[in-house]
């Protein structure tokens, strides 16, 4: 007798749900979003004072007029100034700020008094800042401590640059020491030759005014080229890093922003913090 073959149904395999790993698609996206949300909340909490001040003081028309980066800069400016309450605060200006109404230059954000100002006097071996004389007299009339600086051109004769500054700037009792502003590397000479030129400028200017000049530069330039070899000098350092909020103890001045608003000055202006109070700042002025 012939048996019928019976077809058996294939066994059904039950699928077991895999546990979602940390790196699986949906979970990874969720974790990334959660991380940035926490980061955003953390930054908001850290800058809560600056944000509260900004949005309570800045009116809607200012918010509409200023770009996003300027708004962020304003918040940081407040944060930095708030951390340095009691220290002397000042500006530095040049012809780029146009004509300044010095009688109106009194506070930053209508809260922080302006104590001093550095004014560009000369550039290289042949150029005067077109607003120097007016700014020099205006700052004095407004009873601000004032100082003059020279923008150094690496590819021009250092002694001729020094003579131009000396010829242009007359320092009086109570003025701040002269400043050498060096920001660029030379194109036609080595860094070693540049350093020789800087030393010649500094020596000549010190001989004339009987006071040691201050050197202004960026933090990276300072670290890479000047920190060791010019350690006998005091430094004024520019650093606009969003995450730096306090002056380095080795810096005499810190230029922490180039995007501040001040009464009497159109457009943006640089703001600087002296590593001490106003009375201490007076100690370093010309006698």
Catalytic-residue membership of 85: no
The two three-digit tokens of residue 2, written as one number: 């012939």
User: Among residues 92, 125, 181, 270, which one is catalytic?
Assistant: 92
Catalytic-residue membership of 232: no
Q: Which helix (H) or strand (E) holds 283?
A: helix 278-283
Report d(CA 287, CA 284) in Å as an integer.
Answer: 9
Name the 3-class secondary structure at 272: strand
User: Among residues 104, 126, 160, 183, which one is catalytic?
Assistant: 183
The two three-digit tokens of residue 10, written as one number: 């294939």
208-246 burial, b at 16+ Cβ within 10 Å, e below that, comes to ebebebbbbbebebbeebbeeebeebbbbbbbeeeeeee
Report d(CA 77, CA 57) in Å as an integer.
Answer: 14
34-50 burial, b at 16+ Cβ within 10 Å, e below that, comes to eeeeeeeeeeeeebeeb
Q: Which of 136, 204, 148, 210 is nearest to 176 (CA)?
A: 148
Rg, Å, the chain Cα set? 29
Question: Catalytic amino acids?
Answer: 92, 183
């Amino acid at each position: 007798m012939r048996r019928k073959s019976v077809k058996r149904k294939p066994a059904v395999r039950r699928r077991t749900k895999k546990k979602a790993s940390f790196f699986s698609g949906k979970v990874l996206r969720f974790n990334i979003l959660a991380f940035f949300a926490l980061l955003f909340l953390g930054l908001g909490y850290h800058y809560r004072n600056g944000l509260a001040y900004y949005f309570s003081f800045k009116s809607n028309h200012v918010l509409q007029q200023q770009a996003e980066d300027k708004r962020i800069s304003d918040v940081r400016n407040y944060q930095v100034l708030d951390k340095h309450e009691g220290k002397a605060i000042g500006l530095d200006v040049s012809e780029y700020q146009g004509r300044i109404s010095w009688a109106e230059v009194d506070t930053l954000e209508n809260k922080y008094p302006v104590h001093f100002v550095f004014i560009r006097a000369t550039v290289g071996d042949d150029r005067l800042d077109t607003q120097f004389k007016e700014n020099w007299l205006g700052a004095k009339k407004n009873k601000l401590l004032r100082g003059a600086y020279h923008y150094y051109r690496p590819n021009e004769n250092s002694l001729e640059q020094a003579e131009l500054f000396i010829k242009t700037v007359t320092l009086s009792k109570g003025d701040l020491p002269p400043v050498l502003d060096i920001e660029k590397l030379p194109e036609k000479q080595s860094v070693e030759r540049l350093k020789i030129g800087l030393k010649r400028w500094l020596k000549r200017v010190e001989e004339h005014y009987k006071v040691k000049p201050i050197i202004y530069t960026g933090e990276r330039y300072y670290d890479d080229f000047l920190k060791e070899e010019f350690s006998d000098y005091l430094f004024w350092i520019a650093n606009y890093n969003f995450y730096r909020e306090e002056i380095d103890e080795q810096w005499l001045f810190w230029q922490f922003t180039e995007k501040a608003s001040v009464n009497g000055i159109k457009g943006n202006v640089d703001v600087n913090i002296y590593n001490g109070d106003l009375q201490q700042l007076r100690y370093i002025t010309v006698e």
